[in-house]
Every structure is written in structure tokens, then in C-alpha cells.
Amino acid sequence: MRIFEDGNIGTAIDGSTASTRDGLNRRDFLKSGAAAGFVLALQLPLGNKAMAAAPAASGFAPNAFIRIAPDSTVTFVIKHHEMGQGSTTGLATILAEELDCDWAKVKTEYAPADTPTYKNLAFGAQGTGGSTAIANSWPQMRQAGATARAMLVSAAAQKWKVKPEQIQVSAGVISGPAGQKAAFGDVAAAAAKLPVPKDVPLKDPKNFVLVGKQQTRRVDSIAKCTGKAMYTMDVKLPGMLTAVIARPPAFGAQLKSFDDSAAKAVPGVKFVVKVPEGVAVVATGTWAALQGRKALKLDWDGGAAALSTEAMFADYRKRVGGAGAASVTRSEQTASGLKSAAKSVDAVYEFPYLAHAAMEPMNCVAWLHDGIIETWGGHQFPTFDQNFAAQAAGLPPEKVKLNTLVSGGSFGRRANAWSDFTVEAVNVAKAISTLPGGKVPVRVQQTREDDMRGGLYRPQYIHAVKVGLGSDGHIAGWQHTVVGQSIMAGGPMASLIKDGVDETSVEGVWPTPYALSNATVDLYSPEQPVRPLWWRSVGHTHTAFVMETLMDELAGLARQDAVAWRLNLLKEQPRLAGVLKLAAEKGGWGKTLPKGKAQGVACHFSFNTYVAQVVEVSLKPDGSPRVERVTVAVDCGVPVNPDQIAAQMEGCVGFGLAAALYGEIEIEQGKVKQGNYHEYKVLRIPDMPVVEVHIVPSTEAPTGVGEPGVPPLAPAVANALAKLTGQRVRRLPFARHKFTQA
């Protein structure tokens, strides 16, 4: 079937020819500890074979990840979703390293929905998140590349009647002992006839030519710099219509009635249909759909009119110490330690709801045809999206064909366990399919306001903490209470919640890398009509702020240097201590700064990666903070694509800074106040600091970098501000406070 005008479907979308270096993955999900239980916890059928994958190419396909064409073109099938984090390039780098192919000839395409073949080995489900893309793929992609290489070598050895050990492979050229040369394509057909060997030896890392090297460039730069990269927004199918949905104006509001006569009179509007999400206006183009939506007359009931984020904070503060706490950890010595303390900190911290606000507003194309439902979208979690699309369409999962395209950012938004934007597209496609002329593909497009006001936020949290220091300066007792919605509750991962504790609510507080005796941690997980979601670095977004600003305050009370204080509590944590020392050294920790500038520091362990940051902060004339410079030290094991690790650290700094400075979603009378970028401010270029990244050389297995750069940023800035102004921020964002230099 000819689909796109250029005859392609969901493949090779951004995979022109390569030049790279990669990255990692950015999304969040379960921390590695919980991830092992993921498969069992899923209340969804797994193991659905997908609709037919891309047509089998001629040539050599030794496994599900590699195809070699007779013209020697190498195509890698990428099992992770590309949201900008660079995992396409990262996975390609690992495959190419072991395959020894010509990097300039590498193409990439995205895997179809096929959980058994393309699952994330950290989850058991097909999906991208939790900064796991490189980590889970490292052994698997190495083996896939090495196996293919061994088969090409065997085929060449047979052809030249030499031993495989006498053959060399480099940059796509196979060389024999007597000067024989072959390209991959020359022996591909013969290799395809050989049995697939098992447990092929991997390269000695000292012979790596791509992994860890600077010359490996992103595979998608050219397509993304010329406007050619294909996002969901850009999908064009014959007869395709565009829909926007009129959604409830307040959480929980129900539609009482509607009048669509004026909407239907708008030129270009084809259908108006009621769907579970609201009322969909389906038109020949986006503008017509928007005009049609404007013309709808809708009568909603009030919904959750009492819902307000300020009232929620007040309610959360009242819960502390009351009934219904789940115990995360408990020490008998906490109370006595606090009682005997010579000095103490007693503080409540408040964190607002945060929207992801990815640049491409959520969207999906769906088409019911030939007894199947086919979708095009930023399918970050194909296992979920396939199952929920099937449910919505009333078809078995085998009748779902997902075409996964690159997406314009996610930061957690597309990894939702309800597949909201996929399901609504299927709902609209299904609703119009019974109408005359309605058996056509439809793109359901959220506007920026739909996306921003639709819930699925980083939950609002409070932390109430009491810490006591003994007269000798040691920590005598630590009482810590977290209140906020559980992200996993009510979804297919709810059974990962153990004894009332959703680990994603407390990760970063407990367990902690710091040697903390006498700690007691409690958790309250109230329910709200606002659906919560992972947001780049998940629980660490708030826990790191509390822990790392507290560490600074405690160091101050104990009259110790903030770095020395931490190092003293990290004696069993050489890698975290290592990045802290490196950031301190490279960032010139303790150097004399001109008046009006101060340094701050923080370190944090998340997603199995260690990051420390030293920041330099001053104040703008209006008293708001200006972050001038951030020195980052990161230990993520083997650095697969160093320049992309740096890129993720830079991006994490900017993303974390946006939330620290401005990020806040407020709800009043059940309605979200912020709808677009002028109300929900994000970072713009004048606010971007200089970022310097130092990567710790390592032979440990690689770990993620998409998220771990976010958590230390806000507390490092808060620590610098405290030094500069004497003011301690306990409620985010910083925009709520006016700072004056001490």
C-alpha cells in the first residue's frame, strides 16, 4: 500500500544517512529496582505479535535489529522511541561498533509494535523510559552486531577458502589474508544461508572505534535541520481529515448537551461527533477544525468546582502526622535523636503541578481499514498503545498496527499508561467510520492549550522534614513526610505499589546514598481528579531539592563546607563522591567570586547515574535569579556517545532551570489557569547558562543520561541563592519570591 507521498510508512523517517554520536534516553519510568517486577505487574496481555513489520528486504537479516542490503546499505531497527534524547544514534552506534560497518552508510528505522521481539529488557514491555534505552540495549545490541559480523566473516572465509581468524573487518570492508576485499553486500546472500551462531565473543573495549568517540554524530541532524524529519504533525495520507476535540473546561465536568449546527456550517467541517473525551470537530484542515470547534455551543456541568491547588497544599499540610500514612522506613531512634538535638531544621517544602509542555502538542493519526486499526504517532510505549488502541477500537491487539514516528519531545508525557492521545484518535476514527465518507484516516490534534490544561502533570507534593544535629555535628534524627499523588495508582502498574508505597513518590529521599541513621520516612498518597504522570526524572524532581538543600543547611549549621559535609556522608559511595569532587574541582568550588555572585552545589543519584553540579548565580536588576554558569560532572558508565551525553546534560540543566524559575500549573475552581507559553513560562535563550560537562571515564555498564541531569539543578541554584541573599526557598518556583542581596 502506498501511504506517504514518498511511499514510506513509519520507517527511515529521520534516518537519512548517518553521521552520529548518541545519547540516551530521556523519559522517565520506573526506577530500576521496581522495573524487574514490571512484567508481572502489567494488567495487560503481553506478547502480542504485531501486524506485519516492514516488508522483509532482500539481503541479509541475521536478527530483528539488522538488515544488510545487496548494495551494502546497513539498516538498523531501533526499538526505542526517539524524542530527542538521541537513543536512535546511541543504539546505532553500539550495533555499528560490533558490526564494524561503514558508519556513513547506516540507516535507521523504528520497530513495529512487537513486544516479544522489541521489549525493553528493563521492563519486559516495549517502551522507552526511565533512562533505560542505552542501559538495557547495551549487551543486546552488542551481541546482535557481533553475531551479524561473525556470519559475514564466515561467508567471506568460505568464499576465499581461508580461516575466519584470518579475516579483518573495518568500516564495512572485509579483508582476506591475500589482499581479498569484499563489501558486506557481496557476501550478504551467502551469510544469510548460514546458521546463526550463539554467544559470539564481543569486542575488547580497547578496540572500540565508535563507542566513546567524538566523531560519531547524530543520525537525525540533517533531516531535522532541513524540515524533512517526519513527525505525527506532518503525516499526510490520502483523504486524511484533521480533528480537534472540545474538552471539559474543568476537571470532572460532564457534557449535558451541545448544539453543532453553527460548527457544521463552517466551510471544511465534515463531521461533529461525540467521543468519550468531548466533542470532536472533524474537518479537511486544521484551521477549519479549530473554527468549527469555536462555533460549537456546549453545555457542561461544573465538574470539580471546589478543586484548587492552594486548597490542596493546605490539605496536604494538615495530613502530616495524621492517619493513613504508609511507612517507607522507620527508626526507633528518630524521636529521641530529634529530642536531644542541639540544632535542628524544621521545614515544609511545596512543589506545584508541572506540565511537560513538549514542543509538539500531543497528536495521533488513526485509521480503521480492512478490519484493522492503524495509527501513526509518537508511540513511546507501544505495548500500552497497542493494547489500549485495540480496546478502544473493539479489536484484538493483533489487529492494531502502530507506526512510530519521532516525536517533538516528551519528557514523560508520551509514556502514559493510559495512551490518552492514541486512544482519543482511535475513538474519533471509530466514531466517523460509520458515517458516509468517514472511513478515512484522521489526525486528532491537541492545541497547546488542550495539552497544557489536560492534566497528566508532575503531581503537586509537600515534604515536611525535621532534622536534628547532635552537639558534635552528627545527624541525630531525621523525620521526613512526603504528601502527594501516587503516579502508579489506578493504572496498569498499580500492583507495583507495595504496602501503600509508590516508590516514585519517595525515590531520592529513600533509599538514600547518604549515611543517614535515625531516619523515619512516611508517605501519604491522596487521590485527586487530576491525573498525575512521570515528568523528566519523576520523584527526583522534588526529592533531590529537599535532600540537597537540606544537606546545605545542615552543613551550615555544622559550620562545615557544603562539599566536605557531603563527602563525609558519602564514604561508601565512591561514584557519587567522585562526581562531586570532579564538579567541585572543575567548577572552582570555593574560589573568590566578584560581589553579587555566589556558588551553589548539589549531587544526586538517579536512574543508576551519578551527577553533580556547581552553579554560579547572580541577581537580575528585578531581583530574580540569573544562573550564569553550570559545571556538570556525570558518571554514567561507559560513555557511548560523549557529545550526546553532554547534550543531555545541557538539556537537563535548561529543563530543570525552567521548572525551578517558572514552572507552576495552578488550578482554581476546577480549571487550569495556565494555557500557553506566556502563562506557563519555559526557558528562553537569554536565561540559558553556560554549561560545561565533564564525563567520568568508566568501564562500568552504561546507564541513562536523559533524566539524571535534572534533579541537582534546582537545589544547586537554591543553595547559591541562600548564600547570596540569606533566603531559603521552600516553595517552588523561584518566581514566587523576590530576592535581595544580603
As a whole number of angstroms, the distance between CA 303 and CA 676 comes to 22
Per the DSSP assignment, residues forming a β-bridge with 503 are none
Q: Pick from 46, 688, 696, 735: which binds another protein (CB under 8 A)?
A: 688
Closer of 359 and 701 to ligand FES (Cβ)? 359
Residue given cell 522517565 in the structure block: 28
Q: Measure the CA–CA gap between 55 and 39, rounded to whole angstroms.
A: 29
- Give strand ranges (E) for 66-193: 66-68, 74-78, 106-110, 168-170, 173-175, 181-183
Count of alpha carbons within 13 angstroms of residue 337, beta-carbon side: 23
The residue among 440 and 577 lying less far from another protein, judged by its C-beta, is 440
- Report what 149 binds from ligand FES, another protein, none; CB cut-off 5-8 Å by kind: none
Name the DSSP class of 406. Answer: B
Which of another protein, ligand FES, none does residue 222 bind (CB under 5 to 8 Å by kind)? another protein
Q: Is 411 a binder of another protein (CB under 8 A)?
A: yes
Cβ contact 51:148 at 8 Å: no
Q: With DSSP H G I counted as helix, E B as strand and the rest as coil, what are the percentages for the chain, rounded to 5?
A: 30, 25, 45
Among 54, 101, 141, 229, binds another protein (CB under 8 A): 229
DSSP labels, 598-651 = EEEEEEEEETTEEEEEEEEEEE-TTS-EEEEEEEEEEE-SS-SSHHHHHHHHHH
CA distances from 128 to 42, 88, 91 (A): 15, 12, 13
Task: Choose the stretch contacting another protein; rule: CB under 8 A; options: 114-122, 190-198, 223-231, 508-516.
Answer: 223-231
Tell me, residue by residue from 39 to 78, as one string, x for binding to another protein by CB under 8 A and - for no binding: ----------------------------------------
Contact call for residue 221 and another protein (CB under 8 A): yes
CB of 268 to another protein, least distance (A): 8
Task: Provide the minimum distance between the beta carbon of 273 and another protein in the complex, in angstroms, as a whole number.
Answer: 21
Whose grid coordinates read 523561584? Answer: 734
CB closer to ligand FES, 159 vs 448: 448
Residue number with CB closer to another protein (284 or 333):
284
Of 84 and 642, nearer to ligand FES (C-beta) is: 84
Residue closer to ligand FES (CB basis): 19 or 618: 19
Among 117, 286, 568, 624, binds another protein (CB under 8 A): 286
Rounded Cα distance, 32 and 637, in Å: 15
- Choose the binding region for another protein from 34-42, 279-287, 489-497, 553-561 (rule: CB under 8 A): 279-287
Beta bridge partners, 354, equal 458
Helices 420-433 and 382-393 pack at an angle, to 10 degrees, of 30
Distance, CA of 683 to CA of 678 (rounded, Å) = 11
Which residues contribute to the site for ligand FES (CB under 6 A)?
Answer: 84, 359, 409
CB of 417 to ligand FES, least distance (A): 24
Of 183 and 682, CB closest to ligand FES: 682
The residues, any chain, with a CB within 8 Å of residue 715's CB and separated by 6 or more, are 544, 545, 547, 548, 549, 552, 600, 602
- Our finding on whether 686 is near another protein (CB under 8 A) is yes
Q: Which does 684 bind (CB under 5 to 8 A by kind): ligand FES, another protein, none?
A: another protein
Nearer to ligand FES, 86 or 124 (CB): 86
Regarding 406 and contact with another protein (CB under 8 A), the answer is: yes
Q: Is 239 in the site for another protein (CB under 8 A)?
A: no
CB 255 within 8 A of CB 300: yes
Q: How far is the CB of 446 from another protein (least distance, A)?
A: 11
Decide if residue 228 touches another protein (CB under 8 A). yes
| Chain-centre distance for alpha carbon 94 | 21
Among 534, 380, 357, 386, CA closest to 454: 357
User: Any contact of residue 358 with another protein (CB under 8 A)?
Assistant: yes
What is the Cα gyration radius of the chain? 27
Check residue 211 and report its DSSP letter.
Answer: T
Shortest Å, Cβ 296 to another protein: 18
**714 lies in the binding site for another protein (CB under 8 A):** no
Q: Residues 224, 226, 229, 230: what is their CA dihedral angle, to the nearest 10 degrees? A: 140
Residue nearest to ligand FES (CB): 359
Q: Supply the minimum distance, in Å, between the C-beta of residue 527 and another protein.
A: 30
Tell me the β-bridge partners of 602. 613
CB of 449 to ligand FES, least distance (A): 12
- 450 half-sphere exposure, CB direction, 13 A CA radius: 22
Least distance to another protein from the beta carbon of 233, Å?
7
- The minimum distance between CB 83 and ligand FES, in angstroms, equals 8
Shortest distance (Å) from residue 155 CB to ligand FES: 42
| Minimum distance, C-beta of residue 648 to ligand FES, in the bound complex (Å) | 12
Crossing angle (nearest 10°) for helices 562-569 and 574-586: 170
x-or-dash pattern for another protein, window 643-682, by CB under 8 A? xx--x--xx-xxx-xx-----------------xxx---x
Residues in the site for another protein, rule: CB under 8 A? Answer: 5, 14, 19, 21, 82-86, 217-218, 220-231, 233-234, 236, 242, 267, 285-287, 357-361, 406-411, 447-448, 643-644, 647, 650-651, 653-655, 657-658, 676-678, 682-686, 688, 690-691
